[in-house]
Structure 1
Amino acid sequence: MFRLGASQVARSVGAQTRNYATLREIEMRLKSIKNIEKITKTMKIVASTRLNKAQRAMTASRVFNKTDAEFYENTEPAAVEDAKTLLIVVSSDKGLCGSIHTQIAKSARKRFQDLNGAADIVTVGDKVKAQLMRTHSDNLKLSFSGVGKEAPNFYEVSLIADEITKLGEYSNVEVLYNKFVSAVSFEPSKFSVFDAAALQKAPGLSKYEIDNEETTSEFAEFSLANSILSAMAEGYASEISARRNAMDNASKNAGDMINSYTILYNRSRQAVITNELVDIITGASSLE
């Protein structure tokens, strides 16, 4: 009888130890989720603050890009067939913004496939570079990092454009980017940029007072830089918006997990207290 009582006490102590350990684990888990919720809420506030600045930069860049689009529409330059295309894929270095980098990388792969592999690739941003390196490392000619931390400016973009022009002459240049549609959506898009030779052959160039190759060459360089600036500004606004939405969803998910773990913690705590009361009452009854 004594041995039976001892084994019951041992099992009771072991059960209490497991309950206490489980309770402690739940408490630590709950604390971690609350800390994550604080971080995601803070990041959402920061993204919301930056979004207005990003949208202003995007709106300003659209004015210059609209002027380029009108010039191309009036002159009607044509892409050179059977010529190698340069794809400039614009992204950034920062993550935690949903699928925005994956979407532009997928769009670049599809465009590369449409061109039957007759294209070279330049990446702006580490995120899209890492994704395209896995599938098109042989076609990746140049990459730029350290971008996307702030709204782009023309000085930064002009340096990027200068390095791209050192790769050589490309008759067809396409800038792939994430176009800002609204605060909750974006879509992969592209700009077509033409070189000086294509502009010289444009049938509608006579509408403008341009009669020398130097002017068209300078305009082609400016148009490349301007297109990259618009793409980076659009991508920056899309990224900030996507990050705000991602952090908002993460905060909501953390809140749901906190509620679930709080209920679980309270139930586990009540179970521990109940077991302790049962042991006390059982011990008191055995002494009577």
Structure 2
Amino acid sequence: MMYARQAVVRLAARPSSAGVVPQTARNMATLREIELRLKSVRNIEKITKSMKMIASTRLAKAQRAMQSGKQYGIANSEVFQNAQPEEASKRKLFIVISSDKGLCGGIHSSVSKATRRFINTGENGGSTDSPIVVVGDKAKAQLSRTLTSNFSVTFNQIGRDIPTFADAAGVADLVVKSGIKYDAIAIVYNKFVSALSYEAAVMEVLNEEVLKEAAGFKAYEMEDDVTKDLAEFSLANAIYAALIEGHACEISARRNAMDNAQKNASDMISSLQMQYNRGRQAAITNELVDIITGASAL
């Protein structure tokens, strides 16, 4: 009778062979999954940390370039303050400044949302048939969902590094030669507020006809070529100022995004490590219970 009871205990201690997975095997599979995920998150943390360091290094250079480029925008604003038209511009062209790169938070969404608001609500002279020129693939992809019919010209591969005046002059030249009809241009770009914040802003540029009719310009006798060259040069200046400031905002936003991503990865690593330690401890406890149960049965 005693031998029969020992046999029953041994059978109860053994796992059933009818497709039932032992508890230890399930724990090992879970621990393996957690270990693989920990390795993946650690790699992501290293990448985000490296990208943050690169962005931090580039930010100081971008801010210096922005301070120099802002002088172009200041000169433009002084010219157009003395050349305000008597009537509001009827047809306005919107130039949206973004870039081709991502991983920088909502830097592209801010200008896209502002442009959609101007077009849909009529703010800043916008209308449903206002033409749009987009610089950068990110804003192009976002605006193409609802405003594809408004697209006139799109640009990419601009501002991969710090934008130059040659980049802005090329954009301005193609806009002028595209034959788009407009009375004024509204450049939608990201304004640099601080290293932690930015906001969508609008810079207005008047065309050649509006400058000729302005009271401030009528007071002087000037040849037609002078006004035409001034309008084209002012457009290139404004685009350059917007490009250089938008680039500084992008680098700052990427640094902040990578900093947040690194912190999130660190928190996730801590959570997964604790989960892994608890699972490993539970697996060891189960194995000790099995050993003690088997020894007691013997």
TM-score normalized by structure 2?
Answer: 0.91
Report the 3-state secondary structure (helix = DSSP H, G, I; strand = E; otherwise coil) of the residue aligned with 1:18: helix
Kindly indicate whether residue 33 of structure 2 is the aligned counterpart of residue 22 of structure 1. Answer: no
* Aligned sequence identity (%): 49
- Paired with 1:285 and 1:7, the residues of 2 have a C-alpha distance of 13
Partner residue of 1:41? 49
Q: How many residues get paired?
A: 285
CA drift at 1:206: 5.2
CA drift at 1:18: 0.2
Report the 3-state secondary structure (helix = DSSP H, G, I; strand = E; otherwise coil) of the residue aligned with 2:104: coil
- Paired with 1:47 and 1:99, the residues of 2 have a C-alpha distance of 16
Which amino acid is 1:198 matched to? V
> Could you list the per-position Cα deviations for residues 89-114 of structure 1 after superposition, in whole angstroms to 9, with x for gaps in the alignment?
00000001111111110000011121
8 Å contact from structure 2 (residues 10, 294) kept in 1: no
- Paired with 2:8 and 2:242, the residues of 1 have a C-alpha distance of 80
Which amino acid is 2:171 matched to? I
Kindly indicate whether residue 228 of structure 2 is the aligned counterpart of residue 217 of structure 1. Answer: yes
Among 9, 14, 39, the residue aligned to 1:9? 14
8 Å contact from structure 2 (residues 83, 215) kept in 1: yes
Partner residue of 1:250? 261
Partner residue of 1:191? 203
8 Å contact from structure 1 (residues 94, 148) kept in 2: no
- Paired with 2:156 and 2:98, the residues of 1 have a C-alpha distance of 10
Q: CA RMSD in A?
A: 1.7
- Paired with 2:160 and 2:87, the residues of 1 have a C-alpha distance of 34
CA drift at 1:4: 6.8
- Paired with 2:21 and 2:191, the residues of 1 have a C-alpha distance of 63
> Could you list the per-position Cα deviations for residues 200-259 of structure 1 after superposition, in whole angstroms to 9, with x for gaps in the alignment?
11111256x651111111010011111111111111110110110011011111111111
- Paired with 1:13 and 1:6, the residues of 2 have a C-alpha distance of 16
Which amino acid is 2:234 matched to? S
List aligned pairs for 1:59-208, cutoff 5 A. Answer: 59-78=67-86, 80-81=88-89, 83-113=90-120, 114=122, 115-168=126-179, 169-205=181-217
Question: Any unmatched runs of 5+ in structure 2?
Answer: none
> Could you list the per-position Cα deviations for residues 140-160 of structure 1 after superposition, in whole angstroms to 9, with x for gaps in the alignment?
111001123211001111111
- Tell which structure's C-alpha radius of gyration is larger: 2
- Paired with 1:237 and 1:127, the residues of 2 have a C-alpha distance of 16
Question: After the TM superposition, which segments of 4 or more aligned residues of structure 1 sit over 6 Å from their partners?
Answer: none
- Paired with 2:86 and 2:159, the residues of 1 have a C-alpha distance of 32
Report the 3-state secondary structure (helix = DSSP H, G, I; strand = E; otherwise coil) of the residue aligned with 1:75: coil
- Paired with 2:80 and 2:97, the residues of 1 have a C-alpha distance of 22
> Could you list the per-position Cα deviations for residues 6-32 of structure 1 after superposition, in whole angstroms to 9, with x for gaps in the alignment?
354216961110000001111111111
> Could you list the per-position Cα deviations for residues 158-191 of structure 1 after superposition, in whole angstroms to 9, with x for gaps in the alignment?
1111111122242111110011110000000011
**Distance 1:22-1:210 versus aligned 2 partners, 3 A rule:** farther
- Paired with 2:278 and 2:267, the residues of 1 have a C-alpha distance of 17
- Paired with 2:12 and 2:295, the residues of 1 have a C-alpha distance of 18
- Paired with 1:141 and 1:63, the residues of 2 have a C-alpha distance of 29
Question: Any unmatched runs of 5+ in structure 1?
Answer: none
- Paired with 1:147 and 1:276, the residues of 2 have a C-alpha distance of 62
8 Å contact from structure 1 (residues 65, 230) kept in 2: yes
Point out the more displaced range, 45-54 or 5-14: 5-14
Report the 3-state secondary structure (helix = DSSP H, G, I; strand = E; otherwise coil) of the residue aligned with 2:132: strand
**Distance 1:3-1:84 versus aligned 2 partners, 3 A rule:** farther
Report the 3-state secondary structure (helix = DSSP H, G, I; strand = E; otherwise coil) of the residue aligned with 1:249: helix
